Chains A and B, each alone.
Chain A
Amino acid sequence: MAQMTMIQAITDAMATELKNDENVLVFGEDVGVNGGVFRATEGLQKEFGEDRVFDTPLAESGLTSLGLGVTLEGYRPVVEIQFFGFLFEAMDGVAGQIARHRARSGASKETPVVIRAPFGGGVHTPELHADSLEGLMAQTPGLKVVIPSNPADAKGLLIEAIRSNDPVVFLEHMKLYRSFREDVPDEEYTVEIGKANVKQEGDDITLIAYGAMVQEAMKAAEALAEEDISAEVIDLRTVSPVDYETLVKSVEKTNRAVVIQEAQRQAGVAANVASELSERAILSLEAPIMRVTAPDTVYPFTQAESIWLPNKDDIIERAKQVMDF
């Protein structure tokens, strides 16, 4: 067991799979000798060679489609998009091609592609670096979309993603890369894709979150406890498919829920989660399912992040609204 940051856990997962399977390739812009702009691929080219870990020309459409192409020769690419705001350049490659590849071939071909990309606010990045675009991916049949919130989950989920024969979009929140360390097992292990995690049990209200909002929800739960409100916090971990079994079980116990996302209200996956939960658990609900989200504007200019991004106070306020409904 070692203390690791999330970025170290991610590197560890890639190293594990590069070692385990010679078909695993890691490529993207500056992931080779440079070790990635966040050091996510640090040391991997040195250890596994330029044939396995390599740089690409600066073109997101080209590099994601390169990922699809190499699968035809049995490779398992882990492709990096430097910042997820650059997804738009690769949207056809990811949503129009990779997501459909298995179905359009009548299941005669597999698509073992992982697309890794950093995203997320709070670290003062320039334009189109921090945008939460997971909603676009979650609306695309054929993909699975994973967003870890801590080092241990990141390692287990990424190993699982690399081993999956279905394409996985693996989104890494930049604020979580190095904000804390925790124990991560040295050995290889997997975390099942599509399974949520009950981070904290509670009886009065269910707080459903993912990415950096999990920490905010935990902080909110702590504050709510001081006011004798017992919140159950659930980390979705996978935003497509969502683990409704775990969510319904929780809501049947607490009878109240808030869905929390960093993305704008019209984006993300919160609307879908709230809608599915009302279909599945309406008779258990004492109050409407409410959402905590960012406002429906473009992602803010750097200096406006703190007044724009949702945080624990927004969660506390919304949870109380639901409690007092």
Chain B
Amino acid sequence: MAPKKKFDPVKVLQEIESKFEMFQILDMDGKIVNEQEMPDLSDEELVELMKRMVWTRVLDQRSISLNRQGRLGFYAPTAGQEASQLASQFALDKSDYILPGYRDVPQLIWQGFPLTQAFLFSRGHFKGNQFPEGMNALSPQIIIGAQYVQTAGVALGIKKRGKDLVAITYTGDGGTSQGDFYEGINFASAYAAPAIFVIQNNNYAISTPRELQTAAKTLAQKAVASGVPGVLVDGMDPLAVYKVTKDARDRAVAGEGPTVIETLCYRYGPHTMAGDDPTRYRTSDEDSDWEKKDPLVRFRKFLEEKGLWSEEKENEVMEQAKEDVKAAIKEADATEKQTVTQLMDNMYEDMPANLKEQYEVYKEKESK
């Protein structure tokens, strides 16, 4: 008899973790390093994706200044995450469901959410949460993890209706520590529901570094706990993010269940504009290392090489973005103020007696 092989759990873990290598197509110099995985995108589509990323970078810059001027409220900066946010959204169908976290306003915008309303969301106006007809989404979720469990339900609904759609949701690296993160993926797994779970790992949950969330080497490997494919992708690489999201979408629509995608990315700005100061927990070396990996820089080089992009084009997009922001903020300013009776009206379809009484009191106040 052969001697019994000793079970080595550490080795098992290392073997599993070694499977989660970072998927990349475009390196930081804009060179294709993985030709065979190149997504099927036309020149027009490539240019459109670049336009969206540039536009959104400007939106971030403008949103930060508008916030500082007191013309916007809650705002979670997005600079650095353009590939992660927009290339994943670019892989969606117009009718797919998006369940964003609080930092994921750009995905909503490119899925059809008017900028004016995005600004109203920031300011805290209910009209900033009403989606246009035909747009399938929920408002940015403040409770970290809640969007994951809800996504499992949305995906189950899609599956039961037999629609060729998916539900995509986003959380950050800190969010992977929540119970709802696990429950959401696991429910979608148990029902083989068409869901895509994106983890945007920007290395920090406010001031807490990613290493303090878990000893797991990657966040993508958390998919293993639910028996779901997990993929780790260069979140500063628009082509790689697009490709893995597209593949996950194809799998989901084919009835093969959910996928977990971890995008390795970085936020240049603070956590939110509500007083967070990243210099307390981050070094400037760290910032500049990541800036070299900037998704705009590498995609710009890639497109220029192909003769699809120029400084002139980029300036055009930037000017357009500034104009769009100006027009939207003006429209947001002109939006009528909220009333308490409106909030009451929105609570229930069938207003209960207590609220009916209070409604009369506020109606009277508002009529003065």
Interface residues of A (CB under 8 A from B): 51, 56-57, 59, 61-63, 65-75, 92-93, 96-97, 102-108, 110, 141-142, 144, 164-166, 194, 240-245
Q: Measured between C-beta atoms, what is the minimum distance from B314 to chain A in Å? A: 36
Q: Measured between C-beta atoms, what is the minimum distance from B182 to chain A in Å? A: 9
Bound CA span A242–B355, Å: 11
A244-B353 in contact (CB<8A): yes
B153-A107 in contact (CB<8A): no
Q: In B151-173, which residues have CB < 8 Å from any A CB? A: 151-158, 160-161, 163, 167
B143-A69 in contact (CB<8A): no
Known: A75-B160, A92-B180, A142-B348. 8 other contacts (CB 8 A): A62-B183, A70-B156, A72-B97, A74-B157, A103-B347, A104-B139, A105-B130, A242-B354
Residues of A within 8 A of B122 (CB): none
B153-A66 in contact (CB<8A): yes
Interface residues of B (CB under 8 A from A): 97, 126-127, 129-131, 136, 138-139, 143, 146, 149-158, 160-161, 163, 167, 179-180, 183-184, 186-187, 190, 343, 345-350, 352-355
Residues of A within 8 A of B156 (CB): 66, 69-70
Most buried by B among A106, A243, A244: A106
Bound CA span A126–B241, Å: 50
Residues of B within 8 A of A241 (CB): 352-355
* Minimum CB distance partner of A51 in chain B: B160
List, sorted by A's number, 21 A–B pairs whose CB atoms are closer than 8 Å: A51-B160, A57-B186, A57-B187, A59-B186, A59-B187, A62-B152, A65-B184, A69-B153, A70-B154, A70-B157, A72-B138, A73-B158, A74-B157, A96-B143, A105-B129, A106-B126, A106-B127, A106-B130, A164-B350, A241-B355, A242-B353
Residues of B within 8 A of A103 (CB): 126, 343, 346-347
In the A-B complex, the 3 residue pairs with the smallest Cβ-Cβ separation, listed nearest first, are A69-B153, A73-B157, A65-B149
A62-B149 in contact (CB<8A): yes
Q: Measured between C-beta atoms, what is the minimum distance from B303 to chain A in Å? A: 37
Residues of B within 8 A of A61 (CB): 149, 179-180, 183
A69-B152 in contact (CB<8A): yes
A67-B352 in contact (CB<8A): no
Q: Measured between C-beta atoms, what is the minimum distance from A209 to chain B in Å? A: 19
Residues of B within 8 A of A105 (CB): 129-131, 138-139
A144-B179 in contact (CB<8A): no
- B157: which of A75, A164, A165, A243 is its contact (CB, 8 Å)? A75
Residues of B within 8 A of A66 (CB): 149, 152-153, 156, 187
A107-B345 in contact (CB<8A): yes
- A102: which of B136, B157, B348, B353 is its contact (CB, 8 Å)? B348
A108-B160 in contact (CB<8A): no
A97-B180 in contact (CB<8A): no
Q: Measured between C-beta atoms, what is the minimum distance from A39 to chain B in Å? A: 24
Bound CA span A96–B190, Å: 25
Bound CA span A200–B355, Å: 29
Residues of B within 8 A of A104 (CB): 126, 129, 139
Residues of B within 8 A of A70 (CB): 153-154, 156-157, 160
* Minimum CB distance partner of B132 in chain A: A108
Q: Measured between C-beta atoms, what is the minimum distance from A50 to chain B in Å? A: 11
Residues of A within 8 A of B97 (CB): 72
Bound CA span A164–B126, Å: 23
B186-A73 in contact (CB<8A): no
- A92: which of B136, B143, B347 is its contact (CB, 8 Å)? B143
A72-B354 in contact (CB<8A): no
Q: Measured between C-beta atoms, what is the minimum distance from B119 to chain A in Å? A: 15
Q: Measured between C-beta atoms, what is the minimum distance from A159 to chain B in Å? A: 15
B146-A62 in contact (CB<8A): no
A65-B153 in contact (CB<8A): yes
Residues of B within 8 A of A73 (CB): 154, 157-158, 160-161, 163
A108-B130 in contact (CB<8A): yes
B150-A65 in contact (CB<8A): yes
A69-B343 in contact (CB<8A): no
Q: Measured between C-beta atoms, what is the minimum distance from B147 to chain A in Å? A: 9
B190-A166 in contact (CB<8A): no
Q: Measured between C-beta atoms, what is the minimum distance from B79 to chain A in Å? A: 27
Most buried by B among A67, A69, A107: A69
Residues of A within 8 A of B186 (CB): 57, 59, 62
* Minimum CB distance partner of B155 in chain A: A69
Bound CA span A108–B131, Å: 8
Bound CA span A71–B156, Å: 10
B184-A62 in contact (CB<8A): yes
* Minimum CB distance partner of A98 in chain B: B150
Residues of B within 8 A of A164 (CB): 349-350
B136-A72 in contact (CB<8A): yes
Bound CA span A103–B349, Å: 10
Bound CA span A105–B151, Å: 16
- A106: which of B149, B346, B350 is its contact (CB, 8 Å)? B346
Bound CA span A108–B113, Å: 14
Residues of B within 8 A of A65 (CB): 146, 149-150, 152-153, 180, 183-184
Residues of A within 8 A of B143 (CB): 92, 96-97
Residues of B within 8 A of A165 (CB): 349-350
Bound CA span A107–B346, Å: 5
Q: Measured between C-beta atoms, what is the minimum distance from B212 to chain A in Å? A: 23
Q: Measured between C-beta atoms, what is the minimum distance from A194 to chain B in Å? A: 6
Bound CA span A162–B59, Å: 44
Bound CA span A66–B247, Å: 25
Residues of B within 8 A of A106 (CB): 126-127, 129-130, 346
Q: Measured between C-beta atoms, what is the minimum distance from B343 to chain A in Å? A: 7
Q: Measured between C-beta atoms, what is the minimum distance from A45 to chain B in Å? A: 15
Residues of A within 8 A of B150 (CB): 65, 68-69, 97
Q: Measured between C-beta atoms, what is the minimum distance from B179 to chain A in Å? A: 6
Bound CA span A110–B131, Å: 13
Q: Measured between C-beta atoms, what is the minimum distance from B340 to chain A in Å? A: 12
- B353: which of A57, A75, A245 is its contact (CB, 8 Å)? A245
